[in-house]
Amino acid sequence: MIPITIISGFLGAGKTTYLQHILNCRNTNERILIIENDFGETSLDAKQLSTTGATVREVTSGCICCSLQGNFKDALIDILSTQDIDQIYIEPSGISKLSEIITTCTDDAIADKAYVNMIITVVDAMQAPMAIKNFGPFFKDQIKHCYAILLTHADDEKQIKKTKELIIELAPHTPIYTDVDALQQDINQLKSDTHKTHEHDSETCSCHTCNDSVDYNCAHHDTHSHHNHVGHHHEHQPFVSYTFHNLQSLNHTQWIDFCNKLPSTVLRIKGIVPTASGPMELQYTPHSCSLTDTHLKDYHLVVIGTDIDISSIQEKVCSAS
């Protein structure tokens, strides 16, 4: 039986960074396969994770949850039937419902070859109050169905306290960590505790059900020359992803200034951008923005939000030609 670890979390929480930490610190020769899901045309995270030596299977242009009964399930079955692997990690899109990912992973067609071994939800301590207020169905579902929670951007004690209170209200018995190494040390105990907790009447257990489930309506629009547009309507929340190419070369200050002036409807930006000093990786959420050196040169910028002025962004970051 192949163990499956699911790493969930809202947009920009730090799922990929956590997964990279796990993979870089492992001291075994386990054959690992990662199912990496980005909401958009391209997956920067998949490119980063491939450098760890693991095999990466990408699911792009939408969320895993949009294809739970189709592509994702079929892909997982295909992987289990054809790949010689020891462990699977799944990193769903930030706007996926964790309960639905679990349901697919415990499907009869999969359960005879693999099992859900660990479920971690990564939570941005700074972003959590906004996420739970504006995107409750996703955030709450990710909190309620995990085995443990890892808080990131946990520098403000007051904010940490507020976020922990929100989490405890949703999942009073789920352990919360602010230190990734402490979490990794406790993984085996967490597995044991979780299995003991599940030894009760299945009719009263909501661990693998979707209490807030509704039908989804996903619309994938045509590809344009300067960007791709993927519309995604979850719980009446119009998440939209655009990928910009043909980027201008701006300096470090100009890229940061561009991000800091974005409206609150822009929830996430990531990509490889050109600068005078070479390619840099841009990562943005409403509470943080960073530019770091990278060897990648596949210039693109993915913008995710609920109401995005595409022409305005294009004018600021794309070349005229």
Q: List the structure tokens of 165.
A: 């209170």
How many CA within 13 A on the CB side of residue 212? Answer: 17
Helix (H) or strand (E) holding 219: strand 217-223
Q: Is 273 left (phi over 0), alpha (psi -120 to 50) or beta?
A: beta
pLDDT, position 232: 44
pLDDT higher than 90, residue 315: yes
Q: Which of 121-125, 188-192, 277-281 has the lowest mean pLDDT?
A: 188-192
Give the predicted TM-score (pTM) of the model: 0.76
Instruction: State mean pLDDT over 81-100.
Output: 88
pLDDT, position 77: 87
Average pLDDT, the chain: 79
pLDDT higher than 80, residue 67: no
pLDDT higher than 90, residue 43: no
Instruction: State mean pLDDT over 68-72.
Output: 55
Higher-confidence residue: 211 or 140? 140
Count of beta carbons in the 10 Å neighbourhood of residue 248? 16
Residue 96 pLDDT level (bands cut at 50, 70, 90): confident
For residue 204, what is the DSSP state? Answer: G
Q: Please write the tens of the pLDDT for every residue from 240-298.
A: 888 899 999 999 999 999 999 999 889 999 899 999 899 999 999 988 899 999 988 88
pLDDT, position 66: 47
pLDDT, position 235: 47
pLDDT, position 319: 87
Residue 194 pLDDT level (bands cut at 50, 70, 90): low
Highest-confidence range of 168-172, 224-228, 284-288, 294-298, by mean pLDDT?
A: 168-172
Q: Please write the tens of the pLDDT for every residue from 241-250.
A: 888 999 999 9
Phi and psi for 202 in degrees, rounded to 5?
-65, -25
Count of beta carbons in the 10 Å neighbourhood of residue 273? 25
CA atoms of 18 and 26, how far apart (whole Å): 13
Higher-confidence residue: 211 or 42? 42
Name the nearest CA neighbour of 124 among 14, 221, 41.
14
Name the nearest CA neighbour of 230 among 38, 91, 14.
38
Phi and psi for 129 in degrees, rounded to 5?
-60, -40
Instruction: State mean pLDDT over 51-71.
Output: 56
Instruction: State mean pLDDT over 145-163.
Output: 92
